[in-house]
Chains A and B, each alone.
Chain A
Amino acid sequence: RKEVEQDPGPFNVPEGATVAFNCTYSNSASQSFFWYRQDCRKEPKLLMSVYSSGNEDGRFTAQLNRASQYISLLIRDSKLSDSATYLCVVNHLTGGFKTIFGAGTRLFVKA
Chain B
Amino acid sequence: EAGVTQFPSHSVIEKGQTVTLRCDPISGHDNLYWYRRVMGKEIKFLLHFVKESKQDESGMPNNRFLAERTGGTYSTLKVQPAELEDSGVYFCASSQERRAGYNEQFFGPGTRLTVL
Residues of chain A contacted by B103 (CB below 8 angstroms): 32, 91
In the bound complex, what is the Cα–Cα distance between A44 and B111 (angstroms)? 13
Binding site for A on B (CB under 8 A): 33, 35, 41-45, 48, 55-56, 58-59, 91, 100-110
Given contacts A99-B45, A101-B42, A101-B43, are A43 and B101 in contact (CB under 8 A)?
Answer: no
Closest to A99 in B: B45
Given contacts A32-B101, A46-B104, are A104 and B42 in contact (CB under 8 A)?
Answer: yes
Q: Using a Cβ–Cβ cut-off of 8 Å, how many residues does chain A contribute to the interface with B?
A: 24
Contact A96 B105 (CB under 8 A): no
Q: Mark A88-111, 1 if CB is under 8 A from B, else 0.
A: 000111011111111110000000
Contact A31 B42 (CB under 8 A): no
Binding site for B on A (CB under 8 A): 2, 31-32, 34, 42-46, 49, 87, 91-93, 95-104
What's the nearest-Cβ distance from chain B to residue A22, in Å? 16
In the bound complex, what is the Cα–Cα distance between A97 and B44 (angstroms)? 13
Given contacts A44-B43, A98-B58, A101-B42, are A31 and B104 in contact (CB under 8 A)?
Answer: no
Closest CB pairs A-B (n = 9): A96-B56, A31-B101, A43-B107, A101-B43, A32-B102, A103-B42, A93-B101, A101-B42, A44-B107
In the bound complex, what is the Cα–Cα distance between A93 and B103 (angstroms)? 12
Which DSSP category, helix, strand, loop or mixed, fits chain A's interface? strand
Which DSSP category, helix, strand, loop or mixed, fits chain B's interface? loop
What's the nearest-Cβ distance from chain B to residue A39, in Å? 11
Which residue from A44, A45, A97 sits with its C-beta under 8 Å from B56? A97
Closest to B92 in A: A43
Contact A44 B91 (CB under 8 A): yes
Residues of chain A contacted by B104 (CB below 8 angstroms): 34, 46, 49
What's the nearest-Cβ distance from chain B to residue A5, in Å? 10
Which residue from B35, B56, B102, B109 sits with its C-beta under 8 Å from A42? B109
Residues of chain B contacted by A91 (CB below 8 angstroms): 101-103
Closest to A95 in B: B58
Given contacts A32-B102, A91-B101, A96-B55, are A43 and B109 in contact (CB under 8 A)?
Answer: yes
In the bound complex, what is the Cα–Cα distance between A32 and B43 (angstroms)? 17
